[in-house]
């Protein structure tokens, strides 16, 4: 009998985590093989590997403990990938040589599969004097553009694009340009942006005081603090970025504030990290630990929770020794502090099983209680590891106990640390678990509420037929199994129907016992007033959150799937729309219609010829393959590579219009050329323009610089007549949704945050 609770869980395992040969032949025959592979790899650093392999396997079995995706996919494979999810890179020097050294380090890190975070506040503002060269500085945003271009060219391990976080202090002279940078839809697409907000700034906002923008001791501008805050809020209200990080609180509550200063986070914000710091993530699946769900005596088994947390801590500590690191500085930082981040998933489902409404005061109190249990078990487990293997090298008992989160820890835990030391400097963090939660049977993600009770996805089979399958939330399925068609109780709520301040209440309750931070999206209704929206951020600050990320659906950010709170209906697409997810590439028909285009690039002796062939699906033409040819042998390798890659993307189906965007964004450092009265930054951009014109001519996209062409009536869901939202660039389905600050596909798990 399959261990998977839902078909989507097995599909996610097969696509994302199953070990395979280079040609796609499975090595892991079953999910048990994957668990065994992970357990064996993490037990290999133990004195008695066989004993710990069995215990680690038990923790992994039935999806009770869920290591982060990098570990699940990479542990025990023998491949040169890092098991750490993401890194904050070194401090960027304010000089050209140092800046490009940092760019190289970023590329090497993403090449091994790590997302990165950077603080760009250390680069002098635009227009500042550059001594010795009689020039003005171009400013941090110009260098962020360079990072963005680099990231677009690198596929991180596991075929995921690199994810990046950029932060900037609220007193940097270029902060206003940073706030609005991504309002240009073609700029900084590979970045998440967050403003580092200080306590002094928040006090100035509340008091309506002036605020100095300064760098290197020089005040460049003075603005009104409340006006600057309103600019941040307005950008987030309209564009969902930038996020806000309360950086002083992060440093004050850091257990290591005696040896490090934090100025950046990983791409999703749950791990504030020092220079070269790395985040190692995993989650306890609370939904698997509830006994007698939906009964009066339902509870989350405290003994099982304690046992599972202790095993998880040991496994994560072992990852520090078992993992590769892209850079030696990252390995040194990880070994010196042994920072890990154990979090949870399935929280909302567990609350439902206890009859608690997510967002209520009772649910918040229960969440805080569970988080304290996890914190206690984590710290005591790390003390036991210190007895056995030694404390982290930078441990100083008196300084450690007088810092950060340790100030509120229970006396018995503090005394144990004083006597024996502790193996890991920080232990808890709540990370995004979008893909992992699907793999575990579609449990609720992280500490998020249930997103939707159920939805349907269409799967295109190799023979051209389509099957439809229902994806049901884990707790909802459990209710159905137990009570049949009985209506869901009133305490079943979802992300779209919750008041924003209910989200904040839950984040604040969890944050109290999390020593790092939390990745959480606060869903706001489209019609929330701007003043009400600002209140969400102020409430997050006042209640102890370390950051705040919101999502308000609108024409710019896109809409999200919506299901009414008191309905268990499954959203269905209109019959005129095909939500297509391809399990395998489309087969090539014997004959295809197409067109050939000619590009004569200035300065090049030979023209480039581009042939694009189309396939007809559902009465509509869509691109199927491309051929790029030139007599110039210098072009041979890259034209062949581009032919193969673009054709492979086209044959996967879905919305492939992103190919145009990617090609048109490529610039040639030697300079572009004027073609037919228009400046084109590179030959690749010219090819992108040709493909775009072809897609317009066959009616696949709306027009130049525009997205997928579709029937307006097909852009609606039956439930509440809500728009279906953006198309997934990976699988083509209309299942993109905002999860922990990242647009994530519910069908295939694609996320720009990796």
38 and 110 in a single domain? The answer is no
574 and 471 in a single domain? The answer is yes
Asked if 138 and 282 touch (Cβ cutoff 8 Å), the reply is no
447 and 567 in a single domain? The answer is yes
Model confidence at 722, pLDDT cuts 50, 70, 90, reads very low
508 and 625 in a single domain? The answer is no
CA atoms of 556 and 542, how far apart (whole Å): 29
The answer to whether position 501 is within a domain reads yes
The answer to whether position 539 is within a domain reads no
% of the chain beyond a pLDDT of 70 = 85
The answer to whether position 611 is within a domain reads yes
Let me know if 504 is exposed, middle or buried by CB neighbors in 10 A (0-12, 13-18, 19+): buried
Backbone φ and ψ for 680, nearest 5 degrees, come out as: -120, 125
Q: How many residues does the chain have?
A: 754
Model confidence at 1, pLDDT cuts 50, 70, 90, reads low
List the catalytic residues. Answer: 266, 268, 270
The answer to whether position 648 is within a domain reads yes
Q: For 100-139, how does the pLDDT look when each residue is reduced to its tens digit (9 = 90+)?
A: 999 999 988 887 777 899 999 999 999 998 877 767 889 9
* Closest to 523 in 3D by CA, of 434, 445, 430, 449: 449
Asked if 85 and 431 touch (Cβ cutoff 8 Å), the reply is yes
Let me know if 677 is exposed, middle or buried by CB neighbors in 10 A (0-12, 13-18, 19+): exposed
* Closest to 44 in 3D by CA, of 76, 80, 84, 82: 76
330 and 471 in a single domain? The answer is yes
Q: For 2-22, how does the pLDDT look when each residue is reduced to its tens digit (9 = 90+)?
A: 799 888 889 889 988 999 998
What's the total number of domains in the chain?
3
Domain that includes residue 106, residue range: 88-264
Half-sphere exposure at residue 63, Cβ-oriented, CA atoms within 13 angstroms = 27
42 and 169 in a single domain? The answer is no
Let me know if 132 is exposed, middle or buried by CB neighbors in 10 A (0-12, 13-18, 19+): exposed
For the sheet containing 466-472, what is the strand order? Answer: 466-472, 454-460, 581-582
- pLDDT score for 227: 98
Residue 459 sits at the vertex; the CA angle it makes with 454 and 464, to the nearest 5 degrees, is 155
63 and 177 in a single domain? The answer is no
Q: Which residue among 235, 264, 293 closes a domain?
A: 264
Mean pLDDT estimate for the chain: 86
The answer to whether position 716 is within a domain reads no
Instruction: Please report the sign of the dihedral spanned by the C-alpha atoms of residue 37, residue 39, residue 42, residue 46.
Output: negative
H helix or E strand, kind and range, residue 662: helix 658-664
568 and 420 in a single domain? The answer is yes
Q: For 364-377, how does the pLDDT look when each residue is reduced to its tens digit (9 = 90+)?
A: 999 999 999 999 99
CA atoms of 566 and 515, how far apart (whole Å): 36
CA atoms of 534 and 671, how far apart (whole Å): 44
Q: What is the mean pLDDT of residues 681-697?
A: 89
The answer to whether position 112 is within a domain reads yes
99 and 75 in a single domain? The answer is no
The answer to whether position 290 is within a domain reads yes
Residue 230 has pLDDT above 70, yes or no: yes
- pLDDT score for 619: 65
Let me know if 484 is exposed, middle or buried by CB neighbors in 10 A (0-12, 13-18, 19+): exposed
80 and 92 in a single domain? The answer is no
CATH label of the domain that carries residue 145: 3.20.70.20
Least confident of 154-158, 203-207, 522-526: 154-158
41 and 165 in a single domain? The answer is no
The answer to whether position 243 is within a domain reads yes
Give exposure, 170-203, as e/b (b: 16+ Cβ within 10 Å). Answer: bbbbbbbebbebbeeeeebbbbbbbbbbbeebbe
- pLDDT score for 660: 87
Q: Which residue among 233, 264, 295 closes a domain?
A: 264
For the sheet containing 115-119, what is the strand order? Answer: 278-279, 86-88, 115-119, 164-169, 191-197, 243-246, 547-548
Q: For 588-608, how does the pLDDT look when each residue is reduced to its tens digit (9 = 90+)?
A: 666 788 888 988 888 777 888
Q: Which residue among 679, 697, 715 closes a domain?
A: 697
Residue 752 has pLDDT above 80, yes or no: no
328 and 439 in a single domain? The answer is yes
> Given the structure tokens 């129907």, which residue do they identify?
497
Cα 722 to chain centroid distance, Å, stands at 25
């Amino acid at each position: 009998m399959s261990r998977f609770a839902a078909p989507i869980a097995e599909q996610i395992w097969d696509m994302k985590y199953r070990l395979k040969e280079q040609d796609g032949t499975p090595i892991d025959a079953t999910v048990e093989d994957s668990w065994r592979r992970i357990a064996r790899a993490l037990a290999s650093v133990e004195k008695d590997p066989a004993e710990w392999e069995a215990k680690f396997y038990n923790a992994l079995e039935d999806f009770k403990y869920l290591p982060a995706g990098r570990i699940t996919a990479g542990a025990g494979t023998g491949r040169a990938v890092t098991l750490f999810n993401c890194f904050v890179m070194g401090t960027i020097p304010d000089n050209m040589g140092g800046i490009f050294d940092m760019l190289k380090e970023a590329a090497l890190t993403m090449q091994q599969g790590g997302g990165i975070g950077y603080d760009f506040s250390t680069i002098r503002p635009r227009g500042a004097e550059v001594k010795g060269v009689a020039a003005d500085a171009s400013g941090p945003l110009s260098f962020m553009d360079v990072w963005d271009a680099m990231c677009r060219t690198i596929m991180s391990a596991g075929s995921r694009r690199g994810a990046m976080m950029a932060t900037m202090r609220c007193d940097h002279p270029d902060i206003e340009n940073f706030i609005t940078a991504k309002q240009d839809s073609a700029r900084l697409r590979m970045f998440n942006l967050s403003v580092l907000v200080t306590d002094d700034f928040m006090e100035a906002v509340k008091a309506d005081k002036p605020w100095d923008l300064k760098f290197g001791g020089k005040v460049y501008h003075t603005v009104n603090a409340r006006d600057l805050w309103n600019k941040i809020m307005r950008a987030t209200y309209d564009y969902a970025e930038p996020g806000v990080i309360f950086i002083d609180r992060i440093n004050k509550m850091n257990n290591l504030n005696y040896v490090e200063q934090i100025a950046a986070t990983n791409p999703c914000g749950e791990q504030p990290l020092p220079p070269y710091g790395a985040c190692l993530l995993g989650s306890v699946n609370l939904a698997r630990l509830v006994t007698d769900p939906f009964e009066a005596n339902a509870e989350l088994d405290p003994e099982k929770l304690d046992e599972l947390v202790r095993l998880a801590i040991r496994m994560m500590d072992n990852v520090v020794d078992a993992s590769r690191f892209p850079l030696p500085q990252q390995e040194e930082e990880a070994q010196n502090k042994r920072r890990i981040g154990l979090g949870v998933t399935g929280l909302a489902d567990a609350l439902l099983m206890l009859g608690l409404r997510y967002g209520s005061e009772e649910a918040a109190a229960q969440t805080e209680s569970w988080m304290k249990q996890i914190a206690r078990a984590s710290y005591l487990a790390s003390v036991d590891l210190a007895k056995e293997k030694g404390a982290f090298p930078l441990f100083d008992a008196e300084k450690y106990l007088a810092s950060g989160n340790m100030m509120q820890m229970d006396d018995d835990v503090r005394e144990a640390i004083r006597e024996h030391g502790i193996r890991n400097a920080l232990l808890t963090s709540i990370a995004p678990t979008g893909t992992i939660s699907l793999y575990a049977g579609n449990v609720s993600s992280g500490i998020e509420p249930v997103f939707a009770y159920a939805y349907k996805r269409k799967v295109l089979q190799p023979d051209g037929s389509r099957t439809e399958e229902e994806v049901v939330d884990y707790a909802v399925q459990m209710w159905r199994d137990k009570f049949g068609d009985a209506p869901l109780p009133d305490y079943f709520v979802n992300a779209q129907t919750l008041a924003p301040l209910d989200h904040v209440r839950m984040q604040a309750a969890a944050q109290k016992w999390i020593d790092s931070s939390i990745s959480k999206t606060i869903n706001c209704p489209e019609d929330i007033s701007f003043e009400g929206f600002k209140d969400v951020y102020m409430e997050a600050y006042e209640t102890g959150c370390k950051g705040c990320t919101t999502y308000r659906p609108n024409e710019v950010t896109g809409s999200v799937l919506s299901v009414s709170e008191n309905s268990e209906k499954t959203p269905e697409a209109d019959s005129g729309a095909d939500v297509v997810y391809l399990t395998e590439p489309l087969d090539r028909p014997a004959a295809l219609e197409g067109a050939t285009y000619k590009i004569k690039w200035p300065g090049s002796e030979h023209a480039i010829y581009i042939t694009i062939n189309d396939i007809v699906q559902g009465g509509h033409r869509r691109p199927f393959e491309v051929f790029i040819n030139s007599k110039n042998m210098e072009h041979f390798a890259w034209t062949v590579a581009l032919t193969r890659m673009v054709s492979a993307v086209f044959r996967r189906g879905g919305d492939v219009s992103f190919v145009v965007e990617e090609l048109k964004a490529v610039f040639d450092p030697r300079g572009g050329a004027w073609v037919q009265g228009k400046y084109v930054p590179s030959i690749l951009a010219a090819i992108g323009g040709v493909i775009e014109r072809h897609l317009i001519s066959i009616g696949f996209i709306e027009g130049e610089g525009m997205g997928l062409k579709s029937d307006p009536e097909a852009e609606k869901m039956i439930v509440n007549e809500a728009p279906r939202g953006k198309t997934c660039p990976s699988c083509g389905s209309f299942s993109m949704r905002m999860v922990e600050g990242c647009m994530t596909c519910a069908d295939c798990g694609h996320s720009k945050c990796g």
